């Protein structure tokens, strides 16, 4: 049986990583094989792309940036995600294609048709079964860490407001797979809401 593909999305410091780790622990504790991964950087090639795209000192053209994220994803999907799903594992990815739509589409303003082509090439049509969008506002994001440790984090509040609006619009258009969670709630409350949603999803696919 094909496994389950879950993604976490949201603006920086929304709590994705904290919650993805908790969900992995909770699913492993009841015997599931879980692969936790991330974009960019889920593979060895991806780690090199991550370094380039997040830490390059040189200006990166917006289309080049789109294609670097797409190259990371193509390698990730074909060498890690699909093989794990085919053997029945649950794959949890910290970011996937919604990040491209939100950051490169809504944030950078790249044309939707070009974004769609890059995503289609990289994913070959793979969509998450379930996406958890952790929603926080930009001041909350900044208050959790404003060290601007990578190239994209140095972008303006206006940019991140567009990205957040993008994530919310994408969620409205993909309600069949997306749950939006208020990321300003306590870590415990958020974790419990996510466990509940994933539990319901697992129950619905096993009946
Ligand atoms: N990017 C892109 O542009 N296009 C693409 O296609 C893809 C990515 C795939 C990689 O980000 C960058 O690449 C990202 C988008 C871009 N750029 N930005 N900005 P990343 O995912 O590696 O890093 P990040 O987005 O900056 O996230 P992060 O710093 O790793 O944060 P997080 O995973 O969302 O949150 P966290 O590490 O779990 O928590 C952050 C802090 O908040 C930490 O101190 C926690 O203890 C605290 N926290 C967490 N939850 C709570 C709650 N509920 N209350 C209070 N405090 C909390």
The overall pTM is greater than 0.85: yes
What average pLDDT does this structure show over 99-128? 97
Stretch 140-156: mean pLDDT, rounded? 81
Average model confidence (pLDDT) for the chain? 95
Confidence of residue 204 (pLDDT cuts 50, 70, 90): confident
Residue from 43, 52, 106, 144 whose mutation best tests the ligand 1 pocket (most atoms within 8 A of CB): 144
Report CA(183)–ligand 1 centroid distance (Å). 11
Q: What is the DSSP string of 6-67?
A: EEEE-STTSSHHHHHHHHHHHHHHTT--EEEEETTTSSHHHHHHHHHHHH-SS---HHHHHH
**pLDDT value at residue 148:** 64
Q: Which of 176, 94, 187, 185 is nearest to 136 (CA)?
A: 185
CA distances from 66 to 13, 34, 97, 106, 150 (A): 22, 29, 11, 12, 17
- Indicate the top mutation candidate among 13, 72, 159 to test ligand 1's pocket, ranked by most ligand atoms within 8 A of CB: 13
Residue 201's pLDDT band (cuts 50, 70, 90):
confident
| pLDDT tier at 207, thresholds 50, 70, 90 | low
> Regarding the domain delimited by 4-206, which CATH topology (the fold level of the hierarchy) does it fall under?
Rossmann fold (3.40.50)
The pLDDT of 180-200, averaged and rounded, is: 96
How do residues 74-90 score in pLDDT, each as one tens digit?
Answer: 999 999 999 999 999 99
- Residue whose CA is closest, atom 20 of ligand 1? 12
Compute the distance between CA of residue 191 and CA of residue 187 in angstroms, rounded to an integer: 6
Per-residue pLDDT tens for 114-125?
Answer: 999 999 999 999
Q: Which residues contact 68 (CB under 8 A, 6 or more apart)?
A: 40, 49, 52, 53, 60
């Amino acid at each position: 049986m094909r496994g389950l593909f879950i993604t976490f999305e949201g603006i920086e410091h929304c709590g994705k990583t904290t919650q993805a780790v908790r969900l992995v622990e909770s699913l492993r504790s009841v015997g599931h094989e879980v692969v936790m991964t991330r974009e960019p950087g889920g593979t060895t090639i991806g780690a090199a792309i991550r370094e380039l795209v997040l830490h390059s000192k040189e200006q990166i053209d917006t289309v080049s940036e789109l294609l670097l994220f797409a190259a990371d994803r193509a390698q990730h999907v074909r060498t890690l995600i699909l093989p794990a799903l085919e053997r029945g594992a649950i794959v949890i990815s910290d970011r996937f294609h919604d990040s491209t739509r939100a950051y490169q589409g809504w944030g950078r303003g790249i044309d939707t048709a070009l974004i769609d082509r890059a995503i289609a090439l990289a994913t070959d049509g793979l969509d998450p079964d379930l996406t958890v969008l952790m929603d926080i506002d930009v001041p909350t994001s900044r208050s959790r860490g404003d060290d601007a440790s990578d190239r994209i984090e140095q972008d303006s509040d206006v940019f991140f407001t567009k990205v957040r609006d993008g994530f919310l619009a994408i969620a409205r258009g993909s309600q069949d797979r997306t749950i939006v969670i208020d990321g300003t709630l306590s870590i415990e409350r958020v974790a419990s809401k996510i466990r509940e949603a994933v539990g319901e999803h697992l129950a619905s696919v096993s009946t």
